[in-house]
Structures are given as structure tokens and as C-alpha cells.
Structure 1
Amino acid sequence: MISINNLTFGYSRRKILYDNLDLELQEGNIYGLLGENGAGKSTLLMLIAGLKRPHHGTVDVGGHYAADASPEFLREVFFIPEEMTFPNISIESYVGVIEPFYPKFDVTAFFEMISEFGLTPDMTLHNMSYGQKKKALISLGLASNTRLLLMDEPTNGLDIPSKSQFRKLVAKYMSDDRVFLISTHQVRDLESLIDPIVIVDSGKVVFNETLDSITEQLLFTTADKVEEEDVIYLEKGIADDKVVAKNTLGDISRVNLELLFNAVLSEKNKMADTLSTSLKTKNHHGI
């Protein structure tokens, strides 16, 4: 669905943000895009959405180059930015403006979603709070039924009940022919939703694994439950020391995304060696 090849981009010649980045995203998945502040997550979303042009390389979305911004491309992509600007009109009027651009837009579903979020069609977008605007935009994105939905920090501004509602709606409107890519630093909000996990650092994709693959290869537990030589990353705690370790016994543990993220950035070589060794072992046994 999405193929990024040799992508190079920077805001100045001296500071290159992405250098020959490669990434493949497949339909039917809700990808979580993680990275430190300043790693370029928002920029990557804008490059995929065609809002920025790469210096070199290509972003191919469903057979259309994002940089060309063709009508065929634009009708299949919806981008939910972190910061939003709306005109001084009602939600209902705004839908009337947006709907014609998306052939598969589901008006009925949209109004059902905003109702679940506690919004009404007559509310004026310009006068709404940040959280209310975010709810309206999330509803628009899901109702657009585009093949690609890009979301930049979608849970910012949402209260706890709304975050739960967001997860339910994303799961409901995900389908086998759509790709959702969610950039977030609020990993706890999305732990039960995003899969696979993509982590960017220093202009490269340093991690791209499904949750099944992660649980097969890694163990998330406490230091007292694993052998010291199997520990990849250790995080000191008040009661227990949490670790990411090699899953030598094939045990199943719940993935701790914060711990995983810290392990990937702190122990790149150990993580890469563990994952590549596991892959070689599987191939050797014909798995």
C-alpha cells in the first residue's frame, strides 16, 4: 500500500532529517509511529500526505506518488494534524464542504461518531475547545473511508472517556483495505490498538515489528525472573527493576511500549542482534 524508498528530507542543507529512509506499510494494519521529540514524526506524516516534497526518493501510496498530489491520490488520503484551524461555520456546514472531496465519505457514520463524542451538528467549529475540534476531525477522518488515514497525536486534548471512545471507533472503522498510521508519544493511550510498531531515530527506521513478533522474541518482565545474560535493557524501579530480555523459553508477556521504546533507543545493537538472531533461527528451522 505505502512504499517509501530512499527518502531524503531536511529543513536545511546542513541538517538532514531523513537520509535514505525506507519503509513499507501494508493494508489492514494500525501502525504506531514512535520517536523522540524532534525525530521528525510529524514531518514524515506530511511527506506521506504530500504536504511536503522530499529532496530525493519517493513516497508511493497505492500507485500514486505523494509529491504529485494528484486528485486520485488526494481522495484516498486523510491527514489529521496535531494543530487545527477551522472556519467560523457549523460542523454540519463544514461536512458539506468536505464530503465532495471523498467519494466514499459516510455522512451517517460521521454524525453517529460526533454524537458518541458528545458533539452536535449545530456547534460552531471556530468556537469549540481544542479537544472538541480534535473529536470532530477524528470523526471526519474515520468517516472519509480513505485507504490511508494519517493521525498526528490524535489523543492530545482528549479526556480519559474520550480516549476510550477513540480507541473503540478506530477499531470499528478499520478494515482490510485501509492503513492507519498514528504518530504518538502517548503510548499508554494506544497500547491496545497500534500494531505493528515503527520507531524512527536519527533519520532511519530503527524498529518495525508486529506485536506477535515482539512477544515471540522479547520478554517484558522483572529482573528477578530472568537470567542476567538474557537481559537486553533494564530500567530501575522503586519496587522492581523492569527489563526487556531475550525470550529464550518462548514465554508470553504483555508488551510494555514505553519499555520497548526506551530499549530500542538505548540498546540499538543488542536489540538488532536479538531480533536478527531470532529471525535466522526461525529460517533455519523452516518456520
Structure 2
Amino acid sequence: MIQLTDLSFGYRKQPPLFNGLNLSLGAGHIYGLLGKNGSGKTTLLKNMVGLRYPTAGRAMMGGLDTAKRYPDVLSQVFFLPEEPYIPDHTAKTFLETTSPFYPAFDRELFNGYLAAFEVPEQQVLTKLSLGQQKKFMIAFALACRTKLLVMDEPTNGLDIPSKAQFRKVLASAVDEDCCIVLSTHQVRDLDHLIDSVIILHDGTIKLQVQLDQLTERIRFGRVSGGATSILYGEETFDGTHAILPNPEGISSKPDLELLFNATVNDSGMLLNYLAEEGKL
């Protein structure tokens, strides 16, 4: 569905953020884009949807260059920034002026999402709290039912109950025709949703893998004593939280924070192991 080929981008008078970056995303997945602050996650997303223009290479959706901003592409893409613009309108006026740009928009779904998030429909949007504004825009984004939905730090500004509701609503919204990309540094907010992880570091994609395939080859757990087969570990008060080889195929819950740290901070032991196992 989405293909980034030899994509390069940099801001004027600054070193390039990306140089020849390649990335392929398919429908039916929820991708988690992880990276350090300043690594270029938001810029990469904007290149992906045609809001930034690469200095070289292309971002394609369905065979069309997103930078060309064809109407047929724009109607199938929704990008929700971390701090979305909120107009001084009621929900009704916002829907009347904005939803026609999205042919698959579903008003019944939208009403259901608003009810789930407990967001009032009649109030002027700018009079809502920041958290309610964010939930309104999340509800609208999901109701547009676009083929590509990109959300930048979607849980920022949400309280704990709202984060739980967001996970529930998003899980119900994904289908085999939709590709969802979530950029976040709050990995524990979204680790139950993400089925594929992308780690951006030093201008390159250091790791892209489906989590079910990953846990066929490695397992996450706590070890103590003189374990020698650790691929990556972090000492804590209750032992070493570790990533280990998994020749027995033991099921374990992925620790995305540990995986991220292993990918960007380690000497390469984990990535080398995965490459040898054919998972990179």
C-alpha cells in the first residue's frame, strides 16, 4: 500500500534527516513507529502523506506519488498531528464542511466514537478541554475510514481512562483494507495494539518486523544468575529484564521499550541475531 523508495529529506541549512530511506507498509496492520525525540518521526510521517516533499526518492500510495497530492489519494489518507488544528465550529458544522472530502465517512460510526469518548456533540469545539478536542479529532479520523490513517502521538493529552478507550476503539476500527501508522514515545500506551514495529534511528530504519514473527525467534523475560545467552538485558531491582534466543518457541509478550533500547543502544547483537535468523 505504502512504498517509500530511496527517500531523502532535510531542512534547509541542517544535516539531512534521511538519506536513501526505504520502507514498505501493507494493509491490515497497525504499525508502531518508534524513535528518539528529534529522530524525524513526524517528518517521516509527513513525507509519507504528502505534507513534506522529499529532496530525492518518492513516497507512493497505491502507485501514486503522495507529494503530487492527487484528490484520489488525499481522500484516502488522514493524518492526525500531535496537536491538531481545532476550528471555532460546532461538531455539526465541522462535519458539514470537512466530511465530504472523505467519501467513506460513516456518521453512525462517528456518533458511536463520540459516545464512547464521552465528548459532547453540540458544544463549540474550541470550548472543549484539550483532551476532549483530541478525542473529537480521533473520532473523526476513524470515522473517515480512509485506507491510510496516520496518527502522531495520539495518546498525548489523554487521561488514563481515555487511553484505555482509545485502544478499544482503535482495535475495533482496523480492517484488512486499512493501514494504520502510530508514532509514539509512549510505547506502553499502545503495545497491545501494535502488530508491527518500525524503529527509526540515525536516519535509517533500524528494525521493521511483525511482532508475531519476532517472538518466534526471541523471547522476553526476567532472568537472574549467570545466564549466558542474553541478547540484550537491563538490570532492575527485580533482576535482569532480557531479550533471549527462543529455539523452543516459548510464547512471551513483547516489551517494546526493551526492544527499542536494544535496537538503538546495543552493539548490534540483537540485530545480528535476527539477521542470521532471517527476520530482518
Mark yes or no: TM-score above 0.5: yes
Q: How big is the shift at 1:13?
A: 4.8
- State the SS of the aligned residue for 1:42: helix
Write 1 or 2 for the structure with the bigger share of helix: 1
For the pair 1:60 / 2:60, whether they are aligned, the reply is yes
Equivalent residue, structure 2, for 1:162: 162
Once residues 176 and 95 of structure 1 are traced to their aligned partners in structure 2, the CA distance between those partners, rounded to angstroms, is 26
- State the SS of the aligned residue for 2:258: helix
For the pair 1:192 / 2:168, whether they are aligned, the reply is no
For the pair 1:85 / 2:85, whether they are aligned, the reply is yes
Once residues 181 and 226 of structure 1 are traced to their aligned partners in structure 2, the CA distance between those partners, rounded to angstroms, is 40
Preserved CA contact (<8 Å) 1:217 1:274:
no
Equivalent residue, structure 2, for 1:71: 71
Q: How big is the shift at 1:227?
A: 3.3
- State the SS of the aligned residue for 2:277: helix
Q: What amino acid does structure 1 have at the position aligned with 2:113?
A: M
For the pair 1:232 / 2:220, whether they are aligned, the reply is no
Runs of 4+ in 1 over 3 A off after TM superposition: none
Equivalent residue, structure 1, for 2:274: 275
Equivalent residue, structure 1, for 2:265: 266
- State the SS of the aligned residue for 1:206: strand
Q: How big is the shift at 1:249?
A: 2.8
Once residues 129 and 14 of structure 1 are traced to their aligned partners in structure 2, the CA distance between those partners, rounded to angstroms, is 37
Q: How big is the shift at 1:127?
A: 1.7
Equivalent residue, structure 1, for 2:183: 183
Once residues 276 and 13 of structure 2 are traced to their aligned partners in structure 1, the CA distance between those partners, rounded to angstroms, is 37
Q: Deviations over 1:117-144 (max 9, x none)?
A: 1112111111222111110111111000
Equivalent residue, structure 2, for 1:283: none
- State the SS of the aligned residue for 2:268: helix
- State the SS of the aligned residue for 1:185: coil
Identity of aligned residues (%): 40
Q: How big is the shift at 1:233?
A: 1.2
Once residues 66 and 8 of structure 1 are traced to their aligned partners in structure 2, the CA distance between those partners, rounded to angstroms, is 15
TM-score, structure 1 as length reference: 0.94
Q: How big is the shift at 1:273?
A: 1.2
Q: How big is the shift at 1:12?
A: 2.6
Q: How big is the shift at 1:14?
A: 4.1
Name structure 1 gaps, 5 residues minimum. Answer: 281-287
Q: How big is the shift at 1:188?
A: 0.5
Equivalent residue, structure 1, for 2:21: 21
Change in CA separation of 1:226 and 1:137 when aligned onto 2, cut-off 3 Å: farther
Change in CA separation of 1:252 and 1:226 when aligned onto 2, cut-off 3 Å: farther
For the pair 1:36 / 2:46, whether they are aligned, the reply is no
Equivalent residue, structure 1, for 2:174: 174
- State the SS of the aligned residue for 1:138: helix
Q: How big is the shift at 1:250?
A: 2.2
For the pair 1:111 / 2:103, whether they are aligned, the reply is no
Once residues 268 and 42 of structure 1 are traced to their aligned partners in structure 2, the CA distance between those partners, rounded to angstroms, is 27
Q: Deviations over 1:141-184 (max 9, x none)?
A: 10001000000000011111111111111111111010000000
Q: Deviations over 1:197-218 (max 9, x none)?
A: 0000011000011111111111
Equivalent residue, structure 2, for 1:248: 247
Q: How big is the shift at 1:268?
A: 5.3
Equivalent residue, structure 2, for 1:141: 141
Q: Deviations over 1:63-93 (max 9, x none)?
A: 2211101101100000010012211111121
Q: What amino acid does structure 1 have at the position aligned with 2:230?
A: V
Q: Deviations over 1:87-124 (max 9, x none)?
A: 11111210111111000100111111111111121111
TM-score, structure 2 as length reference: 0.96
Equivalent residue, structure 1, for 2:5: 5
Q: What amino acid does structure 1 have at the position aligned with 2:255?
A: N
Once residues 258 and 155 of structure 2 are traced to their aligned partners in structure 1, the CA distance between those partners, rounded to angstroms, is 20
Name structure 2 gaps, 5 residues minimum. Answer: none
- State the SS of the aligned residue for 1:208: strand
Q: What amino acid does structure 1 have at the position aligned with 2:46?
A: M
- State the SS of the aligned residue for 1:115: helix
Preserved CA contact (<8 Å) 1:221 1:243:
yes
Once residues 140 and 225 of structure 1 are traced to their aligned partners in structure 2, the CA distance between those partners, rounded to angstroms, is 51
Equivalent residue, structure 2, for 1:45: 45
